[in-house]
């Protein structure tokens, strides 16, 4: 196991280098650059800058340098100094922009993931052990609806329900009067009253999919001889189901850590935009639209690091939870 972890860490270094370079190149593939996008935005609002001003901005931002020079300057600052660069659009350090929104992003994503697992695991087990029952059909319909309804549509429906039926402020995570107020008990309560909509929206699609996976895996395990042997030894249904098949059926949940960890960082971009959430997702979207290469590149690099770490963690957890899995 130690040798496996060491090899994976060694492979992670060139993987991250390649991913960072490819992402940096892809961000700059569209025609133009940040100054082009900035000038277009100004024209849309009725303002203009001259070609000479555009050239001056490019020179000041180093956009005239070859792409490889820009990449090398960016990546060496990260490796040597922990400096992710300066956002061209926000005119602020990239690290401060990301960390300012990271707390709420992690809170929403973590709650959504826990809510997803809290629904999918017990419901999937029940649906498998009570196959073709009324509730099994109900959960099947929920699974199809949860996967079929887009998250942004569900967000709009819940926002309408909260506004029309519950007379709540919708959009964002805080009411206007608490936006710039210091943190108090009332502000925390107000945050929690807004938090349920994004948590439910983000958890519904994930729970619907994992519920079907859990049910299918459980049905496969319940038909195996070791389950019949456990029943023959006089163990109760609860002991048999939760002691043996569930452990094996949980492998897909453990394997999702590889993408769940970066998802905690990025959140759901479309849902965050619809709900006007101050999370990292909309910031990444705006950076890509404006070709803010240092901000967008730093996002993608951090997501890549989280993906590599999450994959390593999921591999280790799988080997620990399932004795049949071994790494040479």
The pTM score is: 0.78
* Residue 166 falls inside a structural domain: yes
Cα-based torsion angle of the residue sequence 154, 159, 160, 166 in order, rounded to the nearest 10 degrees = 130
Give the pLDDT of residue 137. 92
- 44 vs 92: CA distance, rounded Å: 24
Full domain range(s) for residue 204 = 94-321
Give the pLDDT of residue 326. 59
* Residue 256 falls inside a structural domain: yes
Burial class (CB in 10 A: 0-12, 13-18, 19+), 80: exposed
* Residue 126 falls inside a structural domain: yes
Give the pLDDT of residue 324. 64
Higher pLDDT, 8 or 127: 127
The 10 Å CB-count burial string (b at 16+, else e) for 272-307 is bbbbebbbbbbbbbebbebbbbbbbbbbbbbbbbbb
Average pLDDT over residues 50-79: 87
Structure tokens at 43: 């024209």
Share of the chain above pLDDT 70, in %: 96
- Using the predicted structure, report yes or no on whether residue 14 has a pLDDT greater than 90: no
- Identify which of 303, 307, 264, 256 has the alpha carbon closest to the alpha carbon of residue 108: 264
* Residue 111 falls inside a structural domain: yes
Higher pLDDT, 168 or 324: 168
* Residue 312 falls inside a structural domain: yes
- The CATH number covering residue 194 comes to 1.10.3720.10
As for how many domains the chain has, the answer is 1
- Using the predicted structure, report yes or no on whether residue 318 has a pLDDT greater than 80: no
Give the pLDDT of residue 51. 83
* Residue 259 falls inside a structural domain: yes
Give the pLDDT of residue 327. 57
Three-state DSSP state, 222: helix
* Residue 3 falls inside a structural domain: no
């Amino acid at each position: 196991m130690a040798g496996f972890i060491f090899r994976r860490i060694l492979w992670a270094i060139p993987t991250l280098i390649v991913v960072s370079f490819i992402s940096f190149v892809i961000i700059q593939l569209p025609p133009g650059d940040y100054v082009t996008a900035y000038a277009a935005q100004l024209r849309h609002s009725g303002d203009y800058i001259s070609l000479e001003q555009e050239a001056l901005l490019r020179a000041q931002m180093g956009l005239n340098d070859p792409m490889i020079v820009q990449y090398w300057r960016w990546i060496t600052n990260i490796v040597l100094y922990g400096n992710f660069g300066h956002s061209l659009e926000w005119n602020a350090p990239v690290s401060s922009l990301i960390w300012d929104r990271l707390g709420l992003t992690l809170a929403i994503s973590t709650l959504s993931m826990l809510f997803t697992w809290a629904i999918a695991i017990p419901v999937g087990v029940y649906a498998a052990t009570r196959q073709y029952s009324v509730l099994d059909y109900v959960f099947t319909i929920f699974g199809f609806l949860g996967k079929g309804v887009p998250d942004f549509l569900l967000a709009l429906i819940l926002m309408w329900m909260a506004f029309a039926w519950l007379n709540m402020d919708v959009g964002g995570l805080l009411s206007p009067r608490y936006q710039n107020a210091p943190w108090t008990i009332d502000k925390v309560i107000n945050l929690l009253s807004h938090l349920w909509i994004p948590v439910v929206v983000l958890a519904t699609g994930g729970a619907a999919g994992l519920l079907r996976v859990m049910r299918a895996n459980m049905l496969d395990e319940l038909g195996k001889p070791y389950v019949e042997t456990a029943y023959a030894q006089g163990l109760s249904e609860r002991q048999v189901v939760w002691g043996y098949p569930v452990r094996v059926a949980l492998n897909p949940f453990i394997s999702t850590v590889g993408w769940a960890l970066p998802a905690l960082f990025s959140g759901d971009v479309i849902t965050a935009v619809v709900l006007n959430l101050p999370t990292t997702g909309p910031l990444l979207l705006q950076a890509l639209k404006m070709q803010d290469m240092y901000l967008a590149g730093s996002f993608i690099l951090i997501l890549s690091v989280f993906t590599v770490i999450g994959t390593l963690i999921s591999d280790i957890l799988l080997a620990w939870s399932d004795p049949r899995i071994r790494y040479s």
